[in-house]
């Protein structure tokens, strides 16, 4: 039987001031109209922020972000990919950024990852924009295997903040999907669980016509 989204929207509305208010609150503020036009340096910047946010206080990273932009040469993928090894020793002592060696190294490795697409496939933004929305799980697999420290929630947040129409498997989203009989536990980390989550969100998207990122947020809001 086809999954219907109306009951979930009704639950979200009951917790958040009615349907109109719930829909307004759930819009993805990071959405962009032309993702293929977003420069590689801006995508690498967003990617790096997501990597550093993981396990850190986001406000600390936000307060230092101007220093990150300067220290990482504006996140120019080609420059960081070419000079990365030479820059490593300097960056781990640079007080303008959070001096976490593993995450700094991940940024330099991700510069090479992004630069590949910038050089050979017309841009990383074009690659992201061309990936089918019904297969976010597949795109997350690419980020995890070819990027550095982009697995799990970090990859999901990167896609959302970059403007891709991305769901996030948060605890509230997973709790809602347990309630709906999609998942059997309030966490989705295995390929099987992510496939089930993806299938449900695709069905809700087909039923409601709403963007997948908005569906994800409404699922979370339906919990309370």
Q: How far apart are CA 222 and CA 177, in angstroms?
A: 10
Kindly give, in sequence order, each residue whose CB lies less than 8 Å from that of residue 105, ignoring residues fewer than 6 positions away: 88, 148
pLDDT for the residue 2 = 62
For the domain with range 35-162, which CATH number is right: 3.40.50.261, 1.10.340.30, 3.10.20.30, 3.90.1300.10?
A: 1.10.340.30
- DSSP letter at 32 equals -
Kindly give, in sequence order, each residue whose CB lies less than 8 Å from that of residue 33, ignoring residues fewer than 6 positions away: none
Whole-prediction pTM = 0.95
Kindly give, in sequence order, each residue whose CB lies less than 8 Å from that of residue 134, ignoring residues fewer than 6 positions away: 198, 202, 205
pLDDT for the residue 3 = 78
Sorted by where each begins, the domain ranges of the chain are 5-28+167-222, 35-162
The single residue listed with the structure tokens 């924009």 is: 129
The single residue listed with the structure tokens 């841009």 is: 123
pLDDT for the residue 10 = 97
Task: Print pLDDT tens along the chain (224 aa).
Answer: 467 999 999 999 999 999 999 999 999 999 999 999 999 999 999 999 999 999 999 999 999 999 999 999 999 999 999 987 789 999 999 999 999 999 999 999 999 999 999 998 899 999 999 999 999 999 999 999 999 999 999 999 999 999 999 999 999 999 999 999 999 999 999 999 999 999 999 999 999 999 999 999 999 999 98
pLDDT for the residue 1 = 43
pLDDT for the residue 121 = 87
Q: How far apart are CA 72 and CA 103, in angstroms?
A: 12
């Amino acid at each position: 039987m086809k999954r219907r989204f109306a009951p979930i929207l009704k639950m979200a509305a009951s917790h958040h001031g009615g349907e109109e208010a719930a829909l307004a609150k759930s819009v993805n503020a990071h959405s962009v109209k032309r993702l293929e036009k977003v420069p590689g340096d801006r995508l690498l910047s967003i990617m790096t922020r997501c990597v550093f946010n993981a396990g850190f206080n986001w406000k600390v990273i936000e307060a230092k972000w101007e220093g990150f932009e300067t220290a990482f040469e504006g996140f120019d993928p080609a420059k960081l990919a070419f000079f990365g090894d030479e820059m490593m020793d300097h960056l781990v002592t640079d007080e303008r950024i959070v001096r976490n060696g593993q995450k700094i190294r991940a940024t330099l490795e991700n510069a090479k990852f992004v630069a590949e697409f910038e050089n050979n496939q017309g841009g990383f933004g074009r690659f992201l924009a061309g990936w089918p929305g019904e297969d976010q799980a597949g795109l997350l697999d690419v980020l995890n295997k070819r990027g550095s420290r982009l697995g799990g929630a970090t990859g999901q947040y990167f896609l959302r903040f970059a403007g891709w129409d991305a769901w996030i498997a948060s605890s509230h989203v997973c709790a809602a999907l347990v309630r709906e009989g999609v998942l059997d536990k309030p966490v989705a980390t295995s390929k099987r669980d992510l496939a089930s989550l993806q299938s449900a969100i695709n069905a809700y998207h087909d039923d409601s016509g709403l963007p997948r990122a908005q569906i994800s947020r409404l699922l979370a809001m339906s919990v309370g």
